[in-house]
């Protein structure tokens, strides 16, 4: 505190001392000449002179600096005028300094945030153009070849049309995922919360992905037998989450590996679903970016496998819409585990309750 005091008032103190010494010396000399030296009056004069000089100098200097600083910051629009008092301020230099420092820190944070957003925007646009460019050029190439009329063989023409159709399907797939993730981010996608059996949902996803997993000789299974587990959520969206996570485990899994589903009851009456694989795993530096749009750990292999590059980002947004989170734990070369939680339901769905009673 003493250092701040000396630093703030050093000039006023020194200047006041010089003025006081000078004037006191003159008064003392005058009384000496008049042969009537009064030490008490000289001391009172010196004290009054010092206090008066100090106040005048300090207040005027602070007011001068305040007006100058305020004028500079107002002119370059760095200070919000509404944040400063409109009344005449002559000694509130500390408040102004704090205001300037606080504003500068806020603006610095805003600039850093804008830089991050700008980099993200550039990367996002680059990723979108790259994702759309490949199928567009594929479709264009096959269609131009067919339009040239050089292909006379009907089988070859049909093959080219099929490949062009696959390119169009991929474009539609990417656009649909982009549309969904935009709705999720803006809150335009409404959730229909209901009670459903999570085990049954996973089994239906297994059936849908049976052929895809068979191609890579990856087995889909539970870690043990489970009775029905009833949870609350948007069944359609949760099925999409489970599908994306299992597809991801198949995509990056090793040939002949496994994708295993397990359930655990955690605190606050929630059920945690885990998707565990023994695939290639994810390096630590990539984990923080896994849920970014179009981010791929393996830039080449994952594109050969297909997909829009939005799967994990959609998973993240769907779970956030449920006020839940998705977690990832991975060891490179050993495997990965993705998990999320849902609130456990205390009651069975009405249709299943009726079916149980009938049986």
DSSP-derived secondary structure letter, 254: P
Query: Which pLDDT belongs to residue 2?
Result: 45
Query: Which pLDDT belongs to residue 87?
Result: 45
Query: Which pLDDT belongs to residue 200?
Result: 93
* CA separation for the pair 71, 227 (Å, rounded): 73
* CA separation for the pair 193, 324 (Å, rounded): 14
* CA separation for the pair 230, 349 (Å, rounded): 8
Query: Which pLDDT belongs to residue 331?
Result: 86
**Strand 219-222 and strand 230-234: pairing?**
unpaired
Asked if 167 contacts 135 with a C-beta cutoff of 8 angstroms, the reply is yes
Asked if 156 contacts 150 with a C-beta cutoff of 8 angstroms, the reply is no
* CA separation for the pair 7, 1 (Å, rounded): 10
* CA separation for the pair 303, 309 (Å, rounded): 8
Asked if 336 contacts 252 with a C-beta cutoff of 8 angstroms, the reply is yes
* CA separation for the pair 249, 242 (Å, rounded): 11
Asked if 358 contacts 208 with a C-beta cutoff of 8 angstroms, the reply is no
**Which pLDDT tens digit goes with each residue over 266-280?**
887 899 999 999 888
Domains defined for the chain, CATH in brackets: 1-75+93-188 (1.10.287.130), 194-343 (3.30.565.10)
Q: Among all chains, which residue has been given the structure tokens 């299992």? A: 246
334: Cα within 13 Å, side-chain hemisphere: 5
pTM of the predicted protein model: 0.59
Regions of the chain short of the pLDDT cut 70: 1-8, 35, 62-63, 65-97, 120, 123-124, 126-127, 130, 296-309, 347-359
Query: Which pLDDT belongs to residue 88?
Result: 45
Query: Residues, the chain, total?
Result: 359
And the tokens for 172? 């539609």
């Amino acid at each position: 505190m003493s250092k701040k005091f000396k630093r703030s008032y050093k000039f006023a103190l020194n200047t006041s001392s010089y003025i006081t010494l000078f004037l006191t010396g003159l008064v003392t000399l005058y009384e000496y000449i008049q042969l009537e030296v009064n030490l008490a009056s000289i001391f009172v004069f010196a004290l009054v002179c010092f206090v008066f000089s100090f106040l005048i100098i300090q207040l005027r200097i602070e007011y001068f600096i305040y007006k100058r600083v305020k004028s500079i910051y107002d002119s370059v629009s760095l200070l919000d005028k509404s944040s400063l008092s409109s009344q005449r301020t002559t000694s509130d230099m500390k408040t102004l300094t704090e205001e300037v420092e606080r504003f500068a820190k806020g603006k610095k944070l805003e600039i850093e945030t804008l830089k991050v957003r700008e980099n993200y925007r550039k990367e996002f646009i680059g990723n979108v153009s790259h994702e759309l460019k490949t199928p567009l050029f594929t479709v264009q190439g096959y269609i131009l070849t067919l339009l040239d009329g050089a292909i006379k063989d009907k089988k070859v023409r049909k093959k080219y049309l099929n490949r062009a159709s696959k390119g169009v399907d991929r474009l539609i797939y990417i656009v649909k995922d982009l549309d969904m993730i935009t709705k999720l981010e803006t809150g335009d996608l409404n959730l229909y919360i209901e009670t459903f059996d999570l085990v049954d949902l996973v089994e239906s996803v297994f059936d849908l992905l049976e052929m895809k997993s068979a191609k890579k000789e990856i087995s889909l299974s539970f870690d043990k037998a489970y009775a029905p587990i009833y949870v609350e959520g948007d069944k359609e969206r949760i099925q999409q989450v489970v599908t994306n996570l299992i597809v991801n485990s198949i995509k990056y899994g090793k040939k002949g590996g496994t994708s295993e589903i397990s359930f655990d009851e955690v605190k606050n009456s929630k059920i945690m679903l885990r998707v565990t694989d023994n695939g290639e795993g994810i390096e630590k530096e990539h984990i923080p970016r896994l849920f970014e749009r179009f981010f791929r750990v393996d830039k080449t292999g994952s594109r050969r496998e297909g997909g829009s590059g939005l799967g994990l980002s959609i998973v993240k947004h769907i779970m956030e819409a449920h006020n839940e989170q998705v977690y990832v734990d991975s060891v490179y070369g050993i495997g990965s585990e993705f998990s999320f939680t849902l609130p456990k339901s205390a009651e069975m769905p009405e249709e299943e309750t009726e079916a149980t009673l009938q049986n």
